[in-house]
Structure 1
Amino acid sequence: MSVLARSVGNAFRNKVRTAAVVAVLAVAIGLALAMLVANQAVGAKVQELNASVGTVLTVNPAGGQGFDGGGEPLTAEQAGTAAAVPNVSSVVGTSSLRLRNATEAAAQSTAGTQAGGPQGAPGGGQSQNQGTATVTTSLTAAIDAGTLGGRNQAANGTTGTSGTATAQPARSLPITATGIGAEVDSTGKALGITQGNGLGDYTAESTNALLGTTLAEKNGLGVGSTFSINDRTFTVAGLFDSGTTFGNNALYVTLPTAQGLAELPGELSSMIVTVNSMENVDSAKTALQAALGTDKADVTQGQRNLETAVSSLDSVKNISLIAFLAALGTAGLIILLIMVMLVRERRREIGVLKAIGAPNRTIGLQFVLEALVVVAMGSVVGAAVASFASGGIASALISSSSTTTTAASTGRGVGGGAAGFPGGGSGMPGQGGPFGGASQLLTSVTASASPGVIAAGIAAVFGVAIIGALIPALLTARIRPIEVLRGE
């Protein structure tokens, strides 16, 4: 009988014990593989955050943030100045608009005129980056005002010349429209276009637009559909998904188009500056602020408060690695104890084999192969366990990390994303807590048990199994056949 056949037969000699050992090993191996998958997933997310967020600087007008605050608008000349700063790899200008439904805007305008107030924005005011024109659209916002919106609208009533209060018509939330100079979002990442194509020529006025998925669904639009902004007809070139309902209540057009709609040619609401590496971010930020002037622009690191989140994710990554090693060590210890017990039980068998001339190497190989047979069965079950448990374990680790980081970040305010962008740090509602609109990045860690990761984990398990089986295999060399046979 060959060594392999004898090893397989020995592995099933005591079926109850083998089943128990396989079950225990499956739990340990499954936990080890799940932790390895979680470690890989968190590591990939950390790299993504560092690459997409850590090198982005946001430039806003000095004293301005989003649709609020003072300051003078940025210009194309300042964008050229920013592009000339050392270590700056790209500069993308933006122009942000707030679109009102045309029917609602007309009703509001009529009510405002009857109350003696100027036409335009609610309460007679205008957003700082929309010129003197009210920008209207045929689109209907995808988000209802709700209770908070109703309270704000109630506070926006005006008083006419007769002194009697005139209630303003009900308003829905505005739609965020952003003119961009490249196909990026507020974090400098490529737009997540789910259908269709980009805007095409970002340096020229066009009638193409990218709509958020919820906004398109609300208005029954798809790729190729048309809608209007003011008196211009636009075509839906593509749909994007920002990851949040509020962020998807938005649309993108080219920068020149947005400037034309706002009747503010050459002006920018903000600039997204990408630095060539994380190591140069601080120096580039200082140089950029000096080049633009503290009285002209405010330079902030995009989503700065995500540094705490990244640090927390690093801790999760380390914890998952330690847990993987601990589970791997546990599996190795189980194998070691089982094989030591088997060597002790089979002293007589080993003595007989050595007496008839079997070398220690052959006997040791038999025990190693027997251990590998048991480990192989445990790995199959463990891989199945890991494929189902890895997602839940990763989510639990990330949720715990996010909760801790959120508590530590309370009171720091919303992150400084690009003003007016979906998910940006413009102080608008629905931005997702202290991480701003990028909070979905932290909770979007996808832990999938890929074949490569599982294969690497099983290879590590087999390595530990071989080490755990070699120790008792070496003990067979100490068994002297004459002592064993004398005792029989």
Structure 2
Amino acid sequence: MSVLARSVGNAFRNKVRTAAVVAVLAVAIGLALAMLVANQAVGAKVQELNASVGTVLTVNPAGGQGFEGGGEPLTAEQAASAASVPNVTSVVGTSSLRLRNGAEAAAQTAAGTQAGPGGGQGGPAGQNATTLTTSLTAAIDAGTLGGRNQAANGTTGTTTAQPVRSLPITATGIGAEVDTTGKALVITAGTGLGDYTAESANALLGTSLAEKNNLAIGSTFTINDQTFTVAGLFDSGTTFGNNALYLTLPTAQTVAELPGELSSMIVTVDSMENLEAAKTALESALGTDKADVTQGQNLESAVSSLGSVKNISFIAFLAALGTAGLIILLIMVMLVRERSREIGVLKAIGAPNRTIGLQFVLEALVLVAMGSAVGAAVASFASGGIASALISTNTTTTAATTGRGAAMAGAAGGVGMPGGGAGFPGGTGGPLGGASQLLTSVTASASPGVIAAGIAAVFGVAIIGALVPALLTARIRPIEVLRGE
């Protein structure tokens, strides 16, 4: 009988024990593979964070951010100055507008309520001279938070019957196909706006906003009686972010009657290493009294949190791998002791040590192969949940720490939270800023390459675990083994 056939037969000699061993190995191997998949997914997400928002700087008017604060608006000349700063690869200007449904705005005005913060001007930081109205209805109900926040902006008149409050819709004019964090827009249907440096009657709508208004590609709506066509739909990943629309930058400036003015600038630097130097150069070129230059809202905290998850998952992978190896070692020690007489007989008839060692290694690999098959199936289902649990735990810790700092900043006169309680102005959405959405959107996919690498590591540990007891016993002389019987 060949060594391979004898090894396979030995693996199934005791079927109950074999099933138990395979089950235990499947749990250990499955956990190891799930942790390896989570580690690879988090590593890829860290690279994505660094590539997408890690080299992005945001420039706001000094003293202003989003729809809050004061100061003077940015200009096209300042955008040109920013573009000339060393290591800056692109500068994308934005013009943010707040839109109110025309019928609802009229009802609120008639009832003596303001159309928006700042005495009904409806524009970011008072940029718009008049309220911008639209035929669109906001995709988010005001609810308790929306009513409370808008009431805090003040009311006029003494009426007692107030109409139902509605939330504003954010319209952003952009000079390239990017969102407010500098990432490319995720267009789910239709196309982009083509030339973002030219006026256009097309618009991109958030999926929630389009669904609320029963709009599809080719549908039309109005802003200040100007008709726009839906060219595409985008998904920002959040309900608040999808209650928005994008226009080309010149179009937004024309609609708002604010030619050449910018609400903010998204500046991309060529590498993470040059980010701090570029930030300093931008502050010098634009003037700290004219512009505030900020570095990806709390990106460092987000990346640090993901880094912790990556380290934890790798350590857990090594621990699970070591556990699998220990299980194999103990099983093979037991099997070798059970078959010491068999080993003595094999040596007595001239079997070399490598043949005896190979027999037990092959038997261990048969058990590991079955455990790996079950473990891979377990990992494919469990890796996503494990990654989410690890990230959720670390995100909660980071958010709590960062949130305390944000609360202190707010108490010291920081930026408020307009609208329906959606989060911080400028689209940050919470303590971790724009990076929070990316941080929590890690997708753990059990790719064949990662699974194969994990199984290869398990097989390597199995070989060592099986060889050690087999070779130690095989080195003993046949007469000593048989005498022990």
Name which of structure 1's ranges 97-106 and 317-326 shifts more when overlaid on structure 2: 97-106
Are residues 168 and 259 of structure 1, via their aligned partners in 2, closer, same or farther at CA, if it must alter by over 3 Å?
A: farther
- Residue 363 (structure 1) aligns with: 356
- The number of equivalent residue pairs is 477
Change (3 A) 1:102 1:408: same
Secondary structure at 1:434 match in 2:
coil
2:3 matched residue in structure 1:
3
- Counting only pairs closer than 5 Å after superposition, residues 221-300 of structure 1 correspond to structure 2 as 221-300=215-294
Q: Is 1:393–2:391 an aligned residue pair? A: no
Superposed CA offset, 1:337-364 (max 9, x none): 2112222221211111122222222111
| 1:461 maps to 2:458 | yes
* Structure 1 contact 58–271 (Cα < 8 Å) conserved: yes
1:8-45, Cα deviation, whole Å (9 max, x unpaired):
00111122221221111111111101111111111111
SS of residue matched to 1:410: helix
Distance in 2, matches of 1:202 and 1:403, equals: 38
Q: Note if contact 2:347-2:478 (Cα within 8 Å) is conserved in structure 1.
A: yes
Which one-letter code corresponds to 2:317 in the other structure? F
- Shift of the 481–175 alpha-carbon distance from structure 1 to 2, 3 Å rule, reads same
Matches within 5 A, 1:4-153: 4-111=4-111, 123-125=119-121, 127=123, 128=125, 130-153=127-150
Kindly provide the CA deviation profile for residues 79-122 of structure 1, in whole angstroms up to 9, marking residues without a partner as x. Answer: 0000000111110000000011111223344455xx9x9x9877
Match of 1:450 among 447, 452, 459: 447
1:482 and 2:479 are equivalent in the alignment:
yes
CA distance in structure 2 between the aligned counterparts of 1:487 and 1:290, rounded to whole angstroms? 85
Q: Find the aligned partners of 2:424 and 2:430 in 1 and give their Cα distance.
A: 13
1:348 is the counterpart of 2:341: yes
Contact kept, 8 Å, 2:176 with 2:196, in 1: the verdict is yes
Following superposition, the deviation at residue 236 of structure 1 comes to 0.7
SS of 1:411 mapped into structure 2? helix
Q: 1:333 and 1:256, CA in 2 relative to 1: closer, same or farther beyond 3 A?
A: same
- Code of the aligned partner of 2:169: I
Q: Structure 1 residues 259, 129: closer, same or farther in 2, change over 3 A?
A: farther
Q: Structure 1, unaligned stretches of length 5 or more?
A: none
Correspondence for 1:207 among 158, 182, 201: 201
% identity of equivalent residues:
84
Letter in 1 for 2:235: D
Q: CA deviation at 1:400?
A: 0.7
SS at match of 2:425: coil
Change (3 A) 1:487 1:226: closer
CA contact (8 A) 2:34 2:382 kept: yes
Equivalent position of 1:372 in the other structure: 365
Aligned alpha-carbon RMSD (Å): 2.6
User: Which residues of structure 2 form unaligned runs of 5+?
Assistant: none
Give yes or no for contact 1:425–1:437 (8 Å, CA) kept in 2.
Answer: no
**Amino acid in structure 2 at the alignment position of 1:51:** A
- Conserved? CA contact 1:96–1:129, under 8 Å: no
* SS of equivalent to 2:466: helix
| Residue in structure 2 matched with residue 410 of structure 1 by the alignment | 403
* Separation (CA, whole Å) in 1 of partners of 2:435 and 2:210: 22
Question: Contact 1:158–1:166 (CA<8 Å) still a contact in 2?
Answer: no
Change (3 A) 1:210 1:487: closer
> Aligned equivalents of 1:449 and 1:308: distance in 2?
27
Q: Counterparts of 2:171 and 2:290 in 1: how far apart (Å)?
A: 24
- What whole-Å deviation, never above 9, does each CA across 1:265-286 have from its counterpart, x for those lacking one? 1111100001111111111101
Matched, 1:190 2:162: no
- What SS does the aligned partner of 1:186 have? coil
> Following the alignment from structure 1 to structure 2, what is the Cα–Cα distance between the partners of residues 349 and 42?
49
Normalising by structure 2, what TM-score?
Answer: 0.92
Structure 1 pair 426–291 and aligned structure 2 pair: CA distance change class (3 A): farther
Q: Is the 8 A contact 2:49 2:435 kept in 1?
A: no
The structural deviation recorded for 1:470 is 1.5
Distance apart, 1:126 and its partner CA: 5.2
What is the SS of the residue equivalent to 2:369? Answer: helix
Change (3 A) 1:272 1:426: farther
| TM-score between both structures, scaled by the size of structure 1 | 0.92
Once the two structures are superposed, what CA deviation does each residue of 1:103-153 show, in whole Å capped at 9, x if it has no partner? 1223344455xx9x9x98773445345432321111011011111222345
- C-alpha separation in 2, matches of 1:232 and 1:387: 51
- Contact (CA 8 Å) 1:176, 1:251: kept in 2 or not? yes
The AA in structure 2 aligned to 1:427 is P
Question: Aligned in 2, Cα 1:172/1:266: closer, same or farther, shift over 3 Å?
Answer: same
Mapped to 2, the partners of 1:277 and 1:487 lie a distance apart of: 69
Q: 1:343 to 1:121 in 2, by over 3 A?
A: closer
Instruction: Give, in angstroms, the shift of residue 306 of structure 1.
Output: 2.6
Give the deviation of 1:189 after TM superposition: 0.9
Superposed displacement of residue 378, structure 1: 0.8
Aligned to 2:327, which of 334, 337, 342?
Answer: 334
